[in-house]
Structure 1
Amino acid sequence: MHRIIWILTGRVTAWLAIAAALAVTGVLTGLGGTAQQSDVVQALPPNAESTHAADLQKRLPSGRLNPALVIYARDDAALTESDKNKFKNDAIEYAQSALAGRVSPPVFADNGQAALVAVPLDAAMPVEDLQNTVEKLRAVAGHELPDGLTAQVTGGAGFTADIAASFSGADTTLLLATVAVVTALLLITYRSPWLWIVPLAVVGAADGATNATLALLSRTANLPLDSTTTGIVDVLVFGAGTDYALLLIARYREELRQNEDRRAALRNAVHTAGPAIAASALTVCLGLLALLAAPLTFTRTIGIAGALGVAIAAVFALTALPAALAVCGRRLFWPFTPKPGQPNSTTTGVWARLGTLVSRHPRRILAFSLALLAVLTAGLADASIGLSRTEQFRVQAQSLDGFATLQRHFPAGAADPTIIITRQSTQQQVLAAIVGTPGVVSAHPTEQADGLTAIDVVLRDAPDTTGSYDTIRALRAAVHAIPSAEAAVGGTVAANLDKRTASTDALSTVVPLVLAVVLLVLILLLRSLVAPIVLMLTVVATYFAALGAATFLFVHVLGYPGLDNEVPLLSFIFLVALGIDYNIFLATRAREEAHALGTRDGMRTALAATGGVITSAGILLAAVFAVLGVLPLVTLTELGIIVGIGVLLDTLLVRTLLVPAIAMLLGDTFWYPGKPHRAAPANRHFRQPSIR
């Protein structure tokens, strides 16, 4: 390890290390190319009944269709003859885009105020072609509309086209917003006209290498990617990578105040901060990889891609960054250049005073911290899980408006009927069981092929409500009671129910796994049992407090109906994995100082030494996650807000007050069964390894 650090910081070898990092990034970028895009968010759980129904439906003609629904409507007035002539004439033009040139005849609402025309499109049509086709349909529908008549294109094709349009350019917007936030916060942190360029360039190179690697894996290993996944990974790389850079540079600046030789100071900084950064990155990566135990493709993909991104960010922070700092020299910090003899941050400043305050009143600080976390956790009383398709997007789109219009004029479930696939031989038995199920408005067979029958079922309750989910469960119980039917209940509502169930099951599977992995890493790193358990409990408490505070904000301020299915699990992973980072940096420094000062004074010194940089890192990470709000998915907005609140709580409350208070109350028991040895401070100066 000493030899590697020496190479990274040498006069000539530092330049070679930078060249190697640039070469690796260039090669990966050249090999990466364009990622193979998949609809990861909408992927179904592999073992769910809705997935089985979708597979069976592919054997039927409708399984190859993605319908566009055109809804014509008047408010509080019946359709006129002129209106009917309009959409009959439109149907002729729709046929030019429809699969096999056929358009379904109009279906009229019972109130006579609306009509629905279905335009079947090829489900295998590329998204770009689908967008163009939907725009063409909308142009036809909106041309020369009679006064008072509205025409909107919705349905599966309309939703897909609008979602794709809303994400157009979103990756670039997210990346630019992230870079802007990181740049601004680095400028504020360092107050230097050029120091911020070095960590930003290193993290930017790491992000480029990550995206190139993911693009390569999407084509060679069939790793599913979409804009949501790449957006989250960009935020992870910039957030974690910049945090690692802040921590290394802060330790380097501290060493420069004690050492005339800047290269020796840099080697000391890498030698002391490097293990904590590596342990932090390992914890985050293992936590993310625990998502492989989750059933949903979207969640597993986030785990793989996120772990890869954090690993690459850590490698760049521990290799390219030291080399860049070695090349730039001490003047990189101008106008606040650190020099030997300057005041030590462990004895002066606001963080030193805060450490003294905690050491004097640890019980009061502990009580205050726990009370605040409990109050914030109370916001979970308003929590509900699951959003409908129309509630998952923050953008205004014609497909959403059309869906709302359809619901006003047709039975609530008609907007998105449930599809039941059964054997032809048991069609009548299954149909009778369906009609006799409470919550069903109507049911009728739609097609037959390959020995199968598809039955469209209109539910009484609106899609993705508690009533609609209860009806889906009742339908499954009813049709499964006919064993020879081998019936499967599918459709959008059934799929969303299965996703919600899978997400809930994943919490009970993944959460214990993540806690076990992180606890094991902490035990090995700190060589203690008490400290890791304390740190884990505080991070979990932070998660519940952040989730409660964010839920209150979503429900009472932003007007969201609840949390999306994947948000509780993903926010838990990010908060535990990333939140434990700051406790690792604090605890490793406290353990280092405890050898000379004891637990109480060691924790106070560690808080004073790391307070500024960890707070800066936490604020930066929270701000970077908040940038997820530029994307149109409510899921990402909720995820960014929860993680942002949690990181701020962990940075400003848990790591600053709660953990130091607990450690000071426990004393040396905090490190049990280990025990810090009182000794004179060790000589930390880095020596050149002998070369024979």
Structure 2
Amino acid sequence: METLRRLAGLPAGRVGKWAVIAVWLAVIVPLGVLAAGIGQAQDNDETSWMPSGAPSTRAVELTRREFPAARDSALVLVYARQGGLGAADRAAVLDDRNRLRALGDVTGPAPSADGAALTLTVPVPGDAMESGEATRIVARAREIMRAGLPAGLTAAATGPAASRADAADANGRVDGTLTLVTVAVVALLLLVTYRSPVLPLVPLACVAAGVVAAQAGAVLVAEAGVVVNGSGAALMIVLVFGLGTDYALLLISRYREELAEHSDRHQAMALALRHTAPSVAASAATMALAALALFAADMNSTKGLGPLAAIAVVAALLAMTTLLPALLTALGRGVFWPAVPRRAAPGARTAHIWRWTGRLVSGRPRRAWAVAGLTLAALACGTAFLRVGVLDGGDNFTRVPESAAGQEVVRAHYPGGATAPVLVYVPARAAATAAGLARTAPGLAASGPAETSASGRWTRITAVLADPPSSDPARRSVEGLRARLARAVPDALVGGQTAALLDRDAAMDRDLAVIVPLVTGVVTLVLGVLLRAAVAPLLLLGCALLSSGAALGLSALLFHALGFARTDQTVLTLGFLFLVALGVDYTIFLMARARQEVRERGHRDGVVTALVATGGVITGAGVVLAATFLVLTITPVVLNIQLGLLVALGVLVDAFVVRTVLVPALALDIGPATWWPARPAPAPRPFGQPSGIGSPPW
């Protein structure tokens, strides 16, 4: 422990601060070179968004192994005119077909039964889908399709290749914007908080260093086999900015306090680190270990977020407990200009609103926690408006992409599943049996001939669903086909878009059921170890769960008002993780200060002093973290928007209700038993007298 204390004080040393800065300067360049490869390290292959081991995932893997020529994805161009196609329309489609041959072998035009639509199909090579070249192919096909289009003729590019290109475009357009907006939001809030033109630049520089370190770590784990996709990379940036700024606010607030009592800035920073580093490390450990619980997920994309979130937390912790204090100490008091902290009378630094809050909560603590608890419980009732389900196609975007609009055109004139067929894989010996079952299966509009793999071991049968691939009837048809095949051909695999949706839905339900109790258990265990108590961890966890329910209920009402039809299970899984772990963060900051004050003032005055002393900094940190997550709402992806709103609302509820009223009121009502089985030995002193420099809270 003594070694850890000395290491924690290194950035505050007269020589140590320069050593820390030198180390960061030495490593930031190689880390930056490594971080530059984050784009290439991302795995946006379709299996990275699928559940590991699911039948549809195994079908994709089998296709790559046994049917390499069938790895192509279909790009379907659909042309339609209300009332029927004319000669000029057909001539335009034939002209497009000739020009599209530069992109690959074109099949069609395939007429609809009503004579009002035609389709052209362009196979996009599997290598192009994996490398990102598919986006260029789809864009070029759309240019050709729109050039010389007769007036009144509707045309759209759809199919799996177009869907993936639209998704990649929607995510790719916001990568740089997300970072810039995050920087702008955090800079503005820091400027308002500190009212200094210089001070905000220091934590921002440290956060930037943390982002570089986190991205370098992401590249390394990607090389080790961890799935890193676009969503995970964006979430890392948000976490480093949000948590890093929170940690900076706590450290700078305590440093300012100590500067008002000590003339030596090195001593002031050493004391600030001594009192804040343990609670910051505790909150970071809680968040990181809770994030690692995502390793238990079946969804590859969710599983990969665990180590990425943990890396982001560790990077933020290291930057804000080493580089930030070293820079602040090196820059001296002038960094706070124009509000340079001077030696001041004790007690003069606390805002009136927090002294008033302390008196209000301590006056009638039972009434305070009862009102707060009932309010949160009432908000939790909003979950009745929650509709859970996989977000697919146009549902996952704020604006309907062309691929989803094209699917509706196909649906109006062709069998609904024409652009996303069902793929049945069976051992070659069972080909005839499987073909017969596919022909007679309910919900299938057509079934193609059996195709044997190059090795001769497997057979593939392509079938067309009568209903759109993401519709409930289509899902029931695939479930029925799987059940029939399972009885006759146990080794059969059913893949395709609809089968993948079914497997994702089941996997995300399973992940939600497993990860929620796992995160709860991890957080409880970590709190028990850190607080060395039994009652306080249960108190904090119970408040975090109640707060999470309130945030989810409030979010459900907001989602309903915004017109979001469904909420993806992944939003609930990740939302619960962040709400519980981040919510516990603020109560850790409060209770860490409370435990320190209780040892010197007694339980009641200690808890109230901690509430008053940390009020401004924790609520300020909550506003910054909430604003950081709200940046996710600038993306056109509904999943990101919902996650950003959910976590932002939860953080605000934690900072302004749970940390401010519920937790301190419960601690006051329960009394010293809050710390059971530990027994703080207080030396009571009058309320309002400044605390001395006590031992660390742990």
**Same topology, TM > 0.5:** yes
Task: State which of 449, 460, 463 in structure 2 corresponds to 1:454.
Answer: 460
Q: Could you list the runs of 5+ residues in structure 2 that have no partner in the other structure?
A: 686-690
Q: Is the 8 A contact 1:264 1:685 kept in 2?
A: no
Distance 1:373 1:407 in 2: 45
Give the residue type in structure 2 aligned to 1:253. Answer: R
Task: Give SS of 2:418's match.
Answer: helix
Query: Deviation at 1:497?
Result: 1.6
Match of 2:688 in 1: none
2:107 alignment partner, SS class? coil
Q: Spell out the pairing of 1:374-523 with structure 2 (5 A cutoff).
A: 374-383=377-386, 384-445=388-449, 447-449=451-453, 450-483=456-489, 486-523=491-528
What are the equivalent positions in structure 2 for 1:487-566 lying under 5 Å apart?
A: 487-555=492-560, 557-566=561-570
Instruction: Provide the C-alpha distance between the structure 1 equivalents of 2:551 and 2:301, rounded to a whole number of angstroms.
Output: 23
Q: 1:453 to 1:81 in 2, by over 3 A?
A: farther
Of residues 57, 68, 74 in structure 1, which corresponds to 2:63?
57
Measured after TM superposition, the shift of residue 396 of structure 1 is 4.8
1:327 is matched with 330
Quickly say closer, same or farther: Cα 1:12–1:685, change in 2 above 3 A.
farther
Return the offset for 1:504: 1.3
Cα deviation digits, residues 160-207 of structure 1 (max 9, x gap): 222333334522111111100100110111111211111111111111
In the TM superposition, residue 522 of structure 1 has moved relative to its aligned partner by: 1.0
Q: Aligned pair 1:292/2:287, yes or no?
A: no
Q: 1:606 to 1:401 in 2, by over 3 A?
A: same
**The one of 628, 647, 672 aligned to 2:651:** 647
Equivalent residue, structure 1, for 2:51: 45
Amino acid at match of 2:57: T
Question: More displaced, 165-174 or 279-288?
Answer: 165-174
Query: CA shift at 1:343, angstroms?
Result: 5.0
Q: Distance in 2 between matches of 1:338 and 1:94?
A: 70
CA–CA distance in structure 1, aligned partners of residues 575 and 5 of structure 2: 38
- Judge conservation of contact 1:385–1:564 (CA < 8 Å) in 2: yes
Deviations 1:225-274 (A, max 9, x none): 23211110000001011100100111111222222322211111100111
* TM-score for the superposition, normalised by structure 2: 0.93
Q: Take 1:686 and 1:505, find their aligned partners in 2: how far apart are those partners?
A: 45
User: Is 2:102 the counterpart of 1:96?
Assistant: yes
Who is 2:267 aligned against? 264
Residue of structure 1 equivalent to 2:86: 80
Structure 1 residues 137-181: Cα deviation after superposition (integer angstroms, max 9, x where no partner): 122222222221122211122122223333345221111111001
Q: In 2, Cα distance between the equivalents of 1:579 and 1:509?
A: 20
Post-superposition shift, 1:500?
Answer: 1.7
Cα separation, 2, equivalents of 1:210 and 1:255: 31
SS at match of 2:152: coil
Coordinate RMSD, CA, aligned:
2.2
Q: How does 1:289-368 map to 2 (within 5 A)?
A: 289-344=292-347, 349-368=352-371
Aligned length: 680
CA distance in 2, matches of 1:140, 1:420: 34
Q: Which amino acid aligns with 1:96?
A: A
Cα shift at 1:369:
1.5
Moved more, 279-288 or 9-18: 9-18
Pairwise mapping of residues 124-143 of structure 1 onto structure 2 (< 5 A)?
124-125=127-128, 127-143=131-147
**Secondary structure in structure 2 of the residue aligned to 1:145:** coil
Query: If the length of structure 1 is used for normalisation, what is the TM-score?
Result: 0.94
Amino acid at match of 2:635: L
Structure 1 contact 182–624 (Cα < 8 Å) conserved: yes
1:657 aligns with 2:667: no
Name the stretch that deviates more: 473-482 or 126-135: 126-135
* Partner of residue 613 from structure 1, selected from 614, 617, 629: 617
Specify the alignment match of 1:105 in structure 2: 108
Which has the larger displacement, 360-369 or 339-348? Answer: 339-348
Cα pair distance change 1:380/1:414, threshold 3 Å: farther
Give 1:574 deviation, angstroms.
1.2
**Do the aligned residues in 2 keep the contact of 1:464 with 1:497 (CA within 8 Å)?**
no
Q: Is the 8 A contact 2:239 2:313 kept in 1?
A: yes
- SS of 2:157's partner is strand
Aligned mates of 2:354, 2:413 — CA distance in 1 = 63
CA distance in 2, matches of 1:105, 1:411: 16
2:174 aligned with 1:170: yes
Distance 1:69 1:179, change over 3 A: same
Question: In the superposition, relative to structure 1, how do residues 648 and 230 fare at CA in structure 2: closer, same or farther (>3 Å)?
Answer: same
Distance 2:127 2:225 in 1: 18
Alignment match, 1:120: 123
Please give the alpha-carbon distance, in whole angstroms, between the structure 2 residues aligned to 1:532 and 1:505: 27
Distance 2:469 2:670 in 1: 54
